[in-house]
Amino acid sequence: MSEVVDALRVRIYDTTLRDGTQREGLSLTCEDKLRIADRLDRLGVSWIEAGWPGSNPKDAELFARARDHQLTHAKWAAFGATRRAHVRPEHDPQVEALLEAGTDVVTIFGKSSRLHVTEVLRVTLDENLKMIEQTVALLVKEGRTVVYDAEHFFDGWREDPSYALESLTAARNGGASELVLCDTNGGSLPWDVEAIVGRMVRAFSCPVGIHAHDDGGLAVANSLAAVRAGARHVQGTFNGWGERCGNADLCTIIPDLELKLGARCLPEGKLAELTETARELVELANLTPDPHKPYVGRSAFAHKGGVHVAAVRRSKRSYEHVDPERVGNKSRVVVSELAGQGNVHAHAEQIGLSLEDEEARSVVRAIKADEARGYSFDAAEASVAMRIERARPGYVAPFRVLDYRVIVGRDRDGQPTAEATVKVAIGDQVVHTAGEHQGPVAALDRALRAALEPSLPRVAALRLVDFKVRILDGRLATDAVTRVLVDTSDGDDTWSTVGASSSVVEASLEALVDGIEHGLARHARASVPPQEKVG
Ligand SMILES: CC(=O)SCCNC(=O)CCNC(=O)[C@H](O)C(C)(C)COP(=O)(O)OP(=O)(O)OC[C@H]1O[C@@H](n2cnc3c(N)ncnc32)[C@H](O)[C@@H]1OP(=O)(O)O
Ligand SMILES: CC(=O)C(=O)O
């Protein structure tokens, strides 16, 4: 396909801070927005649309601060509407706020669809054209570079192509520098987008852009189709945030353009910062990352099926459409009931161990049997690591829980209480300790630590940081299997372990033990000088 778009430069217009925040559940402070803008600037997008200055005090504050907040690569853009009907643009407070924002670039949206003109704005077709042309002309007269966003352009084209075209002509007559065709309702199909954008590219001498929404799941495809047809400006948001189903996801579009169409969107070398940028923005927005996002998700290059892993071990290209490092991501191998011995070998290599084939096969057999009993190793890589460690000849567990008891109750103040006792073998000594807490798992954790810390001081550095319980078959009520996932941290890294049992306490103990034993094993591996390491 790269011959179609030879030596292609596509400028990226990021609207995460404006259209992205129209996503339900996303609200950013002014400080968050500045930090996001800085991150996008470092990545090298061409424009950052900060917001709508006439909309709310937070956006007004952002533009006030943006005046002194220099970006090194990108240009700030302010977004707003055409003037209100039947008023001069210089008398429209919303247009005034756009000028006060003080950005070099102003993006104006206007109506291209007859439906929107007559039924939503409720003005004549002619008045709408004047609203577009006069608003753009005023902003240009005031020294702004105007990007014109033709809202509902593709729907408008389907209703009445000549009126849609007239709306663009009005913007161009007013002096707009770029015409951006918007698939505002996100319902267009790529072949229609390609054909219509191609006609507009041929009809106008200025650059044409695309702004697509994802309601039909086609925002990325529509953006690429537009570029194929000659669009050289792509609007979108990071992580695809946006109203309803979201906007075109720049985390997908940028690498698609660079790696598949041979285009250049970011400065040299910056594509490798894409994954880190996407994840930083998720953090700043306080949202949950989607691991399955193309290119930047944690699972984007995670191989689970045994057949896939066996193949990837011979040739990475066999199940990877691009080299993950090009976008700053990495390959991973997941071990589960769908694994073959290759998954276990790969996991062992990742943690610096090696196994004989028969040892790897026995780990696979045990994992498949355990998953049938309710374990899930997908999210419990440290439990896989422990099964690998334990399968190696000569591995000696640093401790073994011989037995335990937990008594739960309520104290005289009505508070829940739990007391746990454990008997633990450490080398050839047996230690018997107790721990108390409000909950049984925390009491057990305390008792276990009390037993281990005197002989294994490293345990003191390990902390239980998260604990998740899932009842696997609620219909069985008290007979249901409980799966427990525990996160343990040593302050630098965090790892997950799993236990499963008809008793929540037993499942928790198992996950706790894996978590602590893994912490000790990885510390021991890291402490062995390289020449002494075996496997
Ligand atoms: C496709 C897009 O994503 S466009 C961006 C959408 N984003 C937002 O709406 C977020 C920010 N919006 C806001 O803060 C508010 O809606 C404001 C401040 C802009 C306007 O608030 P209000 O004055 O109370 O109007 P309200 O939101 O109820 O209605 C929108 C008004 O904009 C008018 N309008 C809509 N599009 C345009 C346009 N392109 N040009 C001029 N006016 C327009 C509507 O006709 C309506 O005015 P009317 O009721 O006088 O006919
Ligand atoms: C301008 C814009 O956000 C849209 O048409 O979707």
HEC sequence for 166-217: HHHHHHHHHCCCEEEEEECCCCCCHHHHHHHHHHHHHHCCCCEEEEEECCCC
3-state SS class at 121: helix
Ligand 1 atom showing the smallest separation from residue 55 Cα: 14
* Amino acid symbol at 168: L
What's the 520 CA to ligand 1 centre distance in angstroms? 60
**Please, are residues 82 and 150 in contact by the beta-carbon 8 Å criterion?**
no
Domains and CATH numbers, the chain: 17-285 (3.20.20.70), 302-391 (no CATH), 400-526 (3.30.160.270)
pLDDT at residue number 488: 97
DSSP 456-488: -GGGGG-EEEEEEEEES-GGGGGGS-EEEEEEE
pLDDT at residue number 167: 98
Strand ranges in 374-507 using DSSP code E only, listed in sequence order: 400-410, 416-426, 429-437, 463-471, 482-489, 494-501
Q: Is this prediction's pTM over 0.80?
A: yes
pLDDT at residue number 532: 47
Q: What is the pLDDT of residues 333-347, one digit of tens each?
A: 999 999 999 999 999
Nearest CA to ligand 1 atom 43: 81
What's the 336 CA to ligand 2 centre distance in angstroms? 44
CA distances from 86 to 79, 91, 121, 123, 140 (A): 21, 10, 12, 9, 20
Nearest CA to ligand 1 atom 26: 55
CA triple 415-420-424, angle to 5 deg: 165
Q: Spell out the residues 6+ positions from residue 162 whose beta carbon is closer than 8 angstroms to its own.
A: none
Ligand 2 atom showing the smallest separation from residue 79 Cα: 1
Pocket test for ligand 1, best of 28, 52, 59, 87 (most atoms within 8 A of CB): 52
Neighbours of 334 (CB within 10 A): 21
Nearest ligand, measured from the Cα of 132: 1
The ipTM estimated for the assembled molecules is: 0.96
What's the 352 CA to ligand 2 centre distance in angstroms? 51
Q: What is the pLDDT of residues 457-485, one digit of tens each?
A: 999 999 999 999 998 876 655 578 999 99
Nearest ligand, measured from the Cα of 185: 2
Classify 47 in phi/psi space as left (phi over 0), alpha (psi -120 to 50) or beta: beta
> Which residues have CB under 6 Å of ligand 1?
19, 22, 52, 54-56, 81-82, 84, 109-111, 121, 131, 151, 184
> Which residues have CB under 6 Å of ligand 2?
19, 109, 149, 151, 182, 184, 211, 213
Mean pLDDT across the stretch 503-530?
90
CA triple 150-156-161, angle to 5 deg: 105
Nearest CA to ligand 2 atom 4: 184
Q: Tell whether the model's pLDDT for residue 269 goes beyond 70.
A: yes
* Amino acid symbol at 329: N
Nearest CA to ligand 2 atom 6: 184
